[in-house]
Structure 1
Amino acid sequence: MGSVARVKLNADAYLACLTHALSNETEEVMGLCIGQANELRFGCEINICAVMLLRRMDKRKDRVEISVEQLSNASTVAEELAKKTGRPLRIVGWYHSHPHITVWPSHVDVQTQAMYQMMDQTFVGLIFSCFNQTKSNAHSVEMTCFQSRTNQEWDPPQYERIEVPMYVEKTKTLSEVNLQTLIDLPNILVQEEAQAYETVAGSCGDHILTNIHNAAVHAQTICNITETVTSPLLHVFEAAISSHQRKVEQVREENEKLKKEIFLLEKEKEAECTD
């Protein structure tokens, strides 16, 4: 398969990525992209239809890593989704956030991307830059898609980024897999914080004030997740339910209208047969 010419990101998958990126203002988060690769005349087109959130085993401000186990689990999820949809779905890329910094990949990101491309040359990387302010103090979100290549002109040769055109593809509804991804997000964030709290608590001994402080910080973090992630998601889901209920009511009204029309047509037909 040839080089990647462009990437299409489904709108509901974009929503899941962006919600995940906005869930943490101080640390990078990451996940994997599920989709399919289509060979075109001018190159390969990657269509990302779903994303899989990854729980961070090592929380660091400016570094994210994918374990072999996580890649294996993600491949299994992609295979199950492929069987369910009848499409040749697989892991086609990864994404991570850049809170308060530029959208462009760091040299570490470029090297990480090069490693993935050794296994799959069409593998792509997405970055979501968030929590940045414009000159008018408005918050901005930027995203980019990239791959890596070796620049032989440098001595020694080094990896450099290649920008890949990316478009957000409109979707009519929120797919089941991306809906489940959004539902899972608060649970993953809580699990990460619980693991971090247990690690710190286990290394601080029995000093009562230290333990009280750690417990208070943990409680504050959980409240922050509820306020910034869980509560907005509930509002989104409530709005979606209301919208679906209105559509169901419209369908019922149309159904009743059609039943009446069919009834009248049958009566007219019976009258014609009688005559």
Structure 2
Amino acid sequence: MADNKGDFLRYAVMDADVYAMCVQHALSTEKEEIMGLLIGEVDTIHKRSYIKSTMILTRSDKKPDRVEISPEQICTASSYADKLAERMKRPWRVLGWYHSHPHITVWPSIVDLRTQATYQMMDPFFVGLIFSVYQTSGNSMNNSVYICCFQTVRNGSSCDKRCVNLEIAPSSLKSYNLEGSIKLPKILYEEEVKSHDEQTSEDMDNLTRLYNESIKTVELVHIVSYVAKPLAIDLEERLNITKKRIAELEKLKRRLIAQKNQ
């Protein structure tokens, strides 16, 4: 692939609610990488991406050092982006991808760079994001989240990274992003059930089968305890804050009306 020096992304702007969704997804497991697609619009004149939403994907292969998605999911994501574009009346499309690096550096691997290069063959403004999670420094037990926003540059047969400036823009929680966020526990549940079912065969003895079922139960409880429950608590807190804000605005409205009628 010949690299066109004029066709590359200069800047990416991600809405804060999309950032929160990506981090939440990345923190959902520290054993394997996760992956999703980014949706929004691209200003090809100024070479800027505006990331407005994301689609969490079911992993077809769960491994500590790589993640894969099927071509069918790419098509599904494109259809979802088209529906959002029609809903928002904006030229939205799939403009990038993100995945996590649990316990390792944020920088893209050679596999990441090659994957990104493949995407850029279809769209030169396609962008990649990596979220490095479960990183601790020194004796501190605090987790840090690092982000790398990048594209790939071809130098002959090798691939190098090109860092892209990333801005997190303040935003409220949009309804379509809320809909996507609450699907995360269900997707993780489906992945876990499918993974364990594939490892279960008819010729297994009862003890092995019972052991596999117990492991599956533990993993499903983990999803409920560490993903579904915190998500529900967070949304409930958001609802309470919103109700309080509405009450304050209603009170202000009544006071202004009273002052006007005086």
For normalisation by structure 1, the TM-score amounts to 0.89
How many residues align? The count is 256
CA contact (8 A) 2:25 2:34 kept: yes
CA contact (8 A) 1:193 1:218 kept: yes
> After superposition, where does 1:30-41 map in structure 2 within 5 Å?
30-40=35-45
Structure 1 residues 223 and 245, CA gap change in structure 2 (3 angstroms): same
Once the two structures are superposed, residues 52-84 of structure 1 have per-residue CA deviations (whole angstroms, 9 ceiling, x without a partner) of: 000012222212123221111111111111111
Structure 1 residues 170 and 257, CA gap change in structure 2 (3 angstroms): same
Q: Which has the higher helix share?
A: 1
Paired residue secondary structure (2:61): coil
Q: Report the equivalent of 2:20.
A: 15
Tell me which of 64, 72, 76 is aligned to 1:73. Answer: 76
CA distance in 2, matches of 1:49, 1:184: 17
Query: How far did 1:15 drift?
Result: 0.4
Query: How far did 1:93 drift?
Result: 0.1
Q: Report the equivalent of 1:268.
A: none
Runs of 4+ in structure 1 displaced over 6 angstroms? none
Q: Report the equivalent of 1:188.
A: 187
Query: How far did 1:232 drift?
Result: 1.1
Query: How far did 1:37 drift?
Result: 0.5
Task: Note if 1:228 corresponds to 2:223.
Answer: no
Gaps of 5+ in 1: 266-275
CA distance in 1, matches of 2:115, 2:153: 12
CA contact (8 A) 2:60 2:69 kept: no
Task: Note if 1:25 corresponds to 2:30.
Answer: yes
CA distance in 1, matches of 2:203, 2:186: 28
CA contact (8 A) 2:17 2:174 kept: yes
Q: Among the aligned pairs, what percent are the same residue?
A: 38
Aligned letter for 2:10?
A: A
Question: How well do the aligned residues superpose, as a CA RMSD in angstroms?
Answer: 1.4
Once the two structures are superposed, residues 65-116 of structure 1 have per-residue CA deviations (whole angstroms, 9 ceiling, x without a partner) of: 2322111111111111111111110000000000011101110110000000
Q: Report the equivalent of 2:147.
A: 143
Q: Report the equivalent of 1:198.
A: 197
CA contact (8 A) 2:33 2:66 kept: yes
Query: How far did 1:257 drift?
Result: 2.6
Aligned letter for 1:90?
A: R
Once the two structures are superposed, residues 165-191 of structure 1 have per-residue CA deviations (whole angstroms, 9 ceiling, x without a partner) of: 1111111x1011211121000000000
Gaps of 5+ in 2: 1-5
Query: How far did 1:215 drift?
Result: 0.8
